[in-house]
Amino acid sequence: MKTAHVVELDRQDARILDALQDNARLSNVELSEIVHLSPSQCQRRRQRLEEMGIVQHYVAQLSPEKLGLTVMALMSVTFERHGEHIAQEFREHIVDYPEILECWSVTGDADYILKVVAADLKAFNDFMMYKLLSLPMVANVRSNLLLEALKSTTRLPVHYGR
């Protein structure tokens, strides 16, 4: 359990975060032009935002298409039986499968919903049959193929109170 203290941000912090969510490689000088602060202020604020854990990390986003990953899907997984150690066992498998990008426990009919990528439908089917359904706790899997992204971002809305 993480104790995530919510942080109060001012408008400048919010703008810095917005800018970095779009482009993590901005220099402090470039940032300063966007935010209308001095470069040194930008540097200090950014460092502070990193230390506070608001900025978790910087990552490169790759093109699934160019990597030959043509299939994405959401998979609703239902368990046969439940229990803490069963969930733990499931978790250990989940993290090792690189085709699983996300795995959430959810409200509703399913126990978990997974976001998955695969090279093609055959690879996707193989993943489902031989990796997911072969897990003993998994009773049922229902898939929704993701056809077209009307929107796809990791950019969180940043509110500022001060």
Partner DNA sequence: TGTGAAAAAAACACGTG
Partner DNA sequence: CACGTGTTTTTTTCACA
Least Cα distance to 125 among 145, 102, 108 occurs for 145
For residues 142 and 75, the answer to whether their CB atoms sit within 8 Å is yes
For residues 98 and 155, the answer to whether their CB atoms sit within 8 Å is no
Give the SS3 label for residue 155.
coil
90 binds a second copy, rule: CB under 8 A? yes
Site string for a second copy, 29-48 (x = CB under 8 A): --------------------
Phi, psi of 130 (to 5 degrees): -95, -20
Q: Which does 40 bind (CB under 5 to 8 A by kind): DNA, a second copy, none?
A: DNA
Residue from 7, 11, 23, 47 touching DNA (CB under 7 A): that is 47
Q: Using the rule CB under 7 A, give the single segment among 29-37, 82-90, 98-106, 125-133 that binds DNA.
A: 29-37
Q: Given the rule CB under 7 A, which residues bind DNA? A: 27-30, 37-41, 43-44, 47
